[in-house]
């Protein structure tokens, strides 16, 4: 068990690694977007690193949800706590509103590629959608494959409407900075729920793993993982601020 109360250090560590990989990808993206460097982002290692960071982050989030759900059920059965849908609804609304704030900001500064349904929107909606799936074990592997393969199929098709953009029905000529529709990404989240129910049954680790909290690299990853939401929300303004302060960007460029 981790030294941090109620947390597994390896979950925080993997989440932190995913966030740091995402930060690297987004910083390179900014350099290319503002033409400060010529970086190939649409193919090759950098593209795969960016996609892997998102996949790992969503996968770990699903695992953490299953652990939290199991522990809440344990407290409910022991009479020391509750577990109900309202908790997931409140979290979903909070994340979705944060996503809408990013939608507004990007619509003002980058109207041609504003974020309509990015990763925060995804987490907001999936926090609500995931609730009925948390009770399942092996079944979530089937559901994961269904959402995943359906999303891969939809990815190659465009539609003449935008009302189902959030599901993965991509409109024609659609451009955005960040797009994480339910199909296929909810499948990745459910794969994480499956792993959580299997590897952390009842909210308890089912395998042995040595504690490496004294390793500075793992401590860095774990620290970032514990504050991943805050870091994700503020990282782009921080990047832009650093570029402005360094003189690489002027305030009138956006």
Domain contains 38: yes
Q: Would you state the structure tokens that stand for residue 126, as one six-digit string?
A: 């999936």
Domain contains 41: yes
Torsion of CA 184, 187, 192, 194, to 10 degrees: -170
Domain contains 47: yes
Element (H, E) at 188: helix 182-199
Cβ proximity of 24 and 49 under 8 Å: yes
Q: What is the pLDDT of residues 67-96, one digit of tens each?
A: 999 998 888 766 666 778 999 999 999 999
pLDDT at 253: 56
Domain that holds residue 57: 9-253
- Cα of first residue to Cα of last residue in the chain, in angstroms, is 47
Give the C-alpha separation, 107 to 190, whole Å.
Answer: 31
Give the C-alpha separation, 179 to 172, whole Å.
Answer: 14
Radius of gyration of the chain (CA): 19
Domain contains 1: no
Higher-confidence residue of 218 and 189: namely 189
Looking at the structure of the chain, the number of domains it has is 1
Query: How far are the Cα atoms of 1, 89, 158, 195, 236 from residue 207, in angstroms, in the given order?
Result: 10, 32, 44, 12, 37
Nearest to 200 by CA among 148, 134, 147: 134
Domain contains 126: yes
Cβ proximity of 96 and 121 under 8 Å: yes
Give the C-alpha separation, 63 to 197, whole Å.
Answer: 8
Domain contains 4: no
Beta bridge partners of 117: 179
Q: What is the pLDDT of residues 144-178, one digit of tens each?
A: 999 999 999 999 999 999 999 999 999 999 999 89
Domain contains 177: yes
pTM of the model: 0.90
């Amino acid at each position: 068990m981790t030294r941090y109360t109620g947390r597994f250090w390896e979950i925080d560590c993997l989440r932190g690694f995913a966030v740091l990989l995402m930060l690297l990808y987004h910083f390179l993206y900014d350099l290319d977007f503002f033409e400060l460097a010529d970086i190939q982002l649409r193919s090759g290692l950098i593209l795969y690193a960016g996609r892997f960071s998102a996949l790992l982050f969503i996968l770990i989030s699903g695992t953490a949800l299953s652990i939290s759900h199991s522990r809440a059920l344990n407290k409910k059965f022991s009479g020391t706590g509750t577990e109900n849908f309202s908790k997931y609804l409140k979290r979903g609304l909070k994340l979705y509103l944060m996503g809408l704030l990013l939608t507004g900001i990007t619509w003002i500064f980058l109207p041609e590629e504003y974020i309509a349904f990015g990763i925060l929107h995804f987490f907001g909606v999936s926090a609500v959608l995931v609730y009925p799936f948390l009770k399942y074990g092996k079944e979530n592997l089937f559901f994961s494959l269904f959402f995943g393969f359906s999303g891969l199929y939809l990815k190659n098709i465009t539609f003449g409407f935008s009302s189902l953009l959030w599901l993965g029905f991509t409109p024609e000529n659609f451009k955005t900075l960040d797009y994480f529709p339910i199909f296929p990404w909810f499948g990745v989240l459910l794969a994480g729920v499956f792993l959580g129910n299997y590897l952390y049954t009842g909210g308890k680790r089912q395998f042995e793993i040595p504690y490496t909290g004294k390793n500075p690299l793992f401590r860095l990853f774990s620290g970032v993982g514990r504050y991943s939401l805050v870091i994700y929300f503020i990282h782009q303004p921080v990047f832009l601020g650093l570029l402005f302060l360094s003189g690489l960007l002027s305030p009138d460029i956006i």
